Amino acid sequence: MECRDGSLYYAKVQLGSPPRDFYVQIDTGSDVLWVSCRPCNGCPESSGLHIPLNFFDPGSSSTASPVSCSDQRCSLGIQSSDSGCSTQNNMCSYTFQYGDGSGTSGYYVSDLLNFDTIVGNSLTANSTARIVFGCSTTQTGDLTKSDRAVDGIFGFGQQGLSVISQLASEGIAPKAFSHCLRGDGDGGGILVLGEIVEPSIVYTPLVPSQPHYNLNLQSISVNGQTLPIDPSVFATSNGQGTIVDSGTTLAYVTDEVYNPLVNAVTAIVSQAARVVLSKGNQCYIISLSVNEVFPQLSLNFEGGASLLLGPQDYLLQQSSIDGSAVWCMGFQKIQGQGITILGDLVLKNKIFVYDLAGQRIGWANYDCSMSVNVSTAINTGRNEYVNTGDLSRGISIRVASSRELIICCIIASVLCVLITGIFQHL
Query: What pLDDT is recorded for position 416?
Result: 27
Give the span between the Cα atoms of 419 and 415, in whole angstroms.
Answer: 6
Residue 245 is a catalytic residue: yes
Query: What pLDDT is recorded for position 186?
Result: 67
pLDDT tens digits, 369-378: 887 887 754 4
Query: What pLDDT is recorded for position 180?
Result: 92
pTM score, whole prediction: 0.86
pLDDT tens digits, 24-80: 999 998 999 999 999 999 999 999 988 999 999 999 999 999 999 889 888 877 655
Percentage of residues of the chain with pLDDT beyond 70: 82
- Please tell me which residue in 151, 245, 313, 355 is annotated as part of the active site: 245
Segment 86-97 shows an average pLDDT of 85
Give the span between the Cα atoms of 322 and 282, in whole angstroms.
Answer: 19
In the chain, domain spans: 2-192, 202-365
pLDDT at position 420 over 80:
no
Confidence of residue 81 (pLDDT cuts 50, 70, 90): low
Confidence of residue 328 (pLDDT cuts 50, 70, 90): very high
Query: What pLDDT is recorded for position 116?
Result: 63
Q: Which fold has domain 2-192?
A: Cathepsin D, subunit A; domain 1 (2.40.70)
Confidence of residue 302 (pLDDT cuts 50, 70, 90): very high
pLDDT at position 197 over 80:
yes
What average pLDDT does the chain have?
Answer: 83
- Please tell me which residue in 27, 82, 142, 355 is annotated as part of the active site: 27
Query: What pLDDT is recorded for position 125?
Result: 60
Percentage of residues of the chain with pLDDT beyond 90: 57
Class level of CATH domain 202-365: mainly beta
Domains 2-192 and 202-365 equal at CATH topology level: yes
Virtual CA dihedral for 408, 409, 415, 418, nearest 10 degrees?
30
Asked whether the beta carbons of 121 and 131 are under 8 A apart, the reply is no
